[in-house]
Structure 1
């Protein structure tokens, strides 16, 4: 048994298996840099090109036909975890469409503005961004909703415009990281096969210091008192779907049931208030689903590409390189953080970064006895933080465009994202919170210990 485990542990893989991914990253970066916009290289096209290259390659240690590699690709893309993720993506899109259609988004924003104290308007703006993004599950939607308000505050108070822009983006990334209906949370929990409530518990403990420090820093900023113009109408009944999703998720209800309950609640309230009829409900739900179609298809393609890279030895090679000098859980966590951060910097998409890095992060997690919920949190925290700081990512591009300032000028004022990285690294250094090791992982560790004992005998 010792010899068998030795061969398994020394499986080093082949660098050639990383070539398809490297080609995709180089193609994506070059297109963005030369054209002036990273949106000019659609992720789906880039991943298809990388997948095509991977299909043409072969593993010299385990040769296969083209048809067999196609089967590997299809099985990877059709993995049950990925399929569940796709369904959740679609339902989350439907929920957002229905919630927006029955004015839940407007009610949530206006409620925050109505109770916002004028002497704490900057931390108040950040809190509204946190609540809105946590409820909506989309950083881009939060930026679009709060940007006009932030610009109005800056104009009326003479506050640095990039500062209020950074506040909005920071609040948007809070929900992107923690929301139960965020695509990043869905990706992180599904790739690590953990419950959302377990990931949330570990994640909130890790980012809470960043949240508090950011609020204190914003409260200390000098600002003139301001009264925002306009009447902020809201209906507390309209925020019931958001509250229902949050409560059900926290008590551990299965995520599919949570999404369905949220959609159903939004439909009932929207029909009663006359926001839409039954046909209108189906139409806006469908539009919401369509908004997630690209992400769902990309997730499937990435799953197939990762399966081919695994067959070609790329995943084993990368795992070996990342962990060859790693002797502890702390080193494994740093490897996970570095991997997803680099993926996000290269792709400017935190969800895709998590989907691509997730399987490897899971292997590292199991190898070093790291809690899967902690691993999911690390994936989400570092990908969200860097995505909120990249001047060529969507959040800063949209915010800069609406405010008429350079995205680069906003970067140093997104204090929350910067604090997320700092606090995340401190959390790794001190090993808190550890989280619980799953029964599967306990069994794996027992087997490893048994192998060592039998080998010594």
Structure 2
């Protein structure tokens, strides 16, 4: 049975994890190692934290191990892990059958060349929303963006800033994104509900960004119109998954159907055989191994930390600065944002802060759908502006040193607008119309 006590010692294992993960990245970065913050696998760092918890927490080994296993086997943790596997399989199979290439080329075909920067933002936003990965969006569009910037006369930093902005838009909103899955499962809410709240804020930020990109992003020379090969049929799986998710179809059924439809299209176009199709599904599973293991181990460690009083201590300290719902909501955002800056991974930041945020939400009666939105937005804003995040590192690598982070940072308009609008929404809840129509019942844990 979980002990109702408060102890800073209970947080030490989490602090050890963050220090090891962050410290390793800093040291490797100083040595010039590429992708320094991604060299140490996060599951290994969190495992060290687990060992520390077993060493310093009171109780016999059997009691601590039982608590750890209950945390690993928590229903929300297991659901999150299965969704990760299915999302990875869908993304991998869809890419293998040519879905990403067709989507990129479709956008480039129909977006007028004089709107290059705005077009790059739109394409990146669609791809990252459809595929659930900002990194994948940047990898797919980055080389094209560099070429268009060179030919058009639009400053490369401008185009690259538009690209990472669009990629983070989708990362934040996608129903198959790691961040969305983690944010909704840790708070026990439906993806579609979080999407409806999130879209109001992100949509306004995106519209303002597009207006700015159109005004200030006109090329000096309009490049020649090129023909890009695409297939509308290969875009169908993304639209299908997005549409079914938004109308409330069970996420397991949606992703499984998406995998099947992508497979059928791949067979029809001769992109892979039955065995190759099975191989791509498994490759998708393997691609989620790190986040799968991290989620399991974090769930177990979180249970140990709660038992030792670490979560209660943190809530007590935070409560001294929290005077009500608004300050508590802001506190949740700052917590996940700071953790993201520390670990350079927005999904990891949400997984770590999610259980703590849930406790704070229950304490201050904050709608968990709002909490899930705050977790996702603040973590994505942090991830979209730090110079050592995977998104920024990959983005700049495509430019071959032509621009630096300092060139791109002042042009990260979408991330800045998203943060400002989110802060405004905390104190002037313009995004909570849906929540007011369907208020949350804290006794039943469901919307009315």
| TM-score normalized by the length of structure 2 | 0.93
Of 420, 425, 428, the residue aligned with 2:426 is: 428
What is the match of residue 128 of structure 1?
123
5+ unaligned residues in a row in structure 1: which ranges? 1-7, 446-457
Cα distance between partner residues in 1 of 2:47 and 2:297: 7
Cα distance between partner residues in 1 of 2:220 and 2:272: 42
Coordinate RMSD, CA, aligned: 1.8
5+ unaligned residues in a row in structure 2: which ranges? 30-35
Of 283, 289, 293, the residue aligned with 2:285 is: 289
2:46–2:298 CA contact under 8 A, matched in 1:
yes
Cα distance between partner residues in 2 of 1:240 and 1:158: 34
Indicate whether 1:93 and 2:91 are aligned: no
Indicate whether 1:187 and 2:186 are aligned: no
Matched ranges for 1:50-199 at <5 A: 50-58=49-57, 63-199=58-194
What is the match of residue 408 of structure 2?
410
What is the match of residue 261 of structure 1?
257
After superposition, the Cα gap between the structure-2 partners of 1:178 and 1:388, relative to the gap in structure 1 and judged at 3 Å, is: same
1:400–1:410 CA contact under 8 A, matched in 2:
no
Indicate whether 1:219 and 2:220 are aligned: no
Alignment partner of 1:217: what SS? helix
What is the match of residue 203 of structure 1?
198
What is the match of residue 32 of structure 2?
none
Cα distance between partner residues in 2 of 1:356 and 1:296: 14
Alignment partner of 1:276: what SS? coil
After superposition, the Cα gap between the structure-2 partners of 1:297 and 1:438, relative to the gap in structure 1 and judged at 3 Å, is: farther
Cα distance between partner residues in 2 of 1:377 and 1:344: 15
After superposition, the Cα gap between the structure-2 partners of 1:439 and 1:156, relative to the gap in structure 1 and judged at 3 Å, is: closer
Cα distance between partner residues in 2 of 1:421 and 1:182: 19
Cα distance between partner residues in 1 of 2:130 and 2:26: 34
Write out per-residue CA displacement over residues 89-140 of structure 1, whole angstroms, 9 at most, x where no aligned residue.
0000000111011111111101100001122221111111111111111011
2:5–2:308 CA contact under 8 A, matched in 1:
no
2:70–2:300 CA contact under 8 A, matched in 1:
yes
Write out per-residue CA displacement over residues 40-90 of structure 1, whole angstroms, 9 at most, x where no aligned residue.
3321111111110011122xxxx4102211111111111111101100000
What is the match of residue 298 of structure 2?
302
Query: Which is greater in Rg?
Result: 1
Matched ranges for 1:382-397 at <5 A: 382-397=378-393
Between the two proteins, the alignment pairs up a number of residues equal to: 432
Matched ranges for 1:2-41 at <5 A: 13-36=6-29, 37-41=36-40
Bigger Cα displacement from structure 2, 48-57 vs 321-330: 321-330
After superposition, the Cα gap between the structure-2 partners of 1:249 and 1:443, relative to the gap in structure 1 and judged at 3 Å, is: closer
| 4+ aligned runs moved over 6 Å, structure 1 | none
| TM-score normalized by the length of structure 1 | 0.91
Indicate whether 1:400 and 2:400 are aligned: no
What is the match of residue 441 of structure 1?
442
Write out per-residue CA displacement over residues 358-395 of structure 1, whole angstroms, 9 at most, x where no aligned residue.
11111221222221111111100110111010101100
What is the match of residue 449 of structure 1?
none
Bigger Cα displacement from structure 2, 360-369 vs 295-304: 360-369
Cα distance between partner residues in 1 of 2:273 and 2:239: 23
Write out per-residue CA displacement over residues 326-357 of structure 1, whole angstroms, 9 at most, x where no aligned residue.
22210111011011101101111111111111
Alignment partner of 1:227: what SS? coil
Bigger Cα displacement from structure 2, 26-35 vs 310-319: 26-35
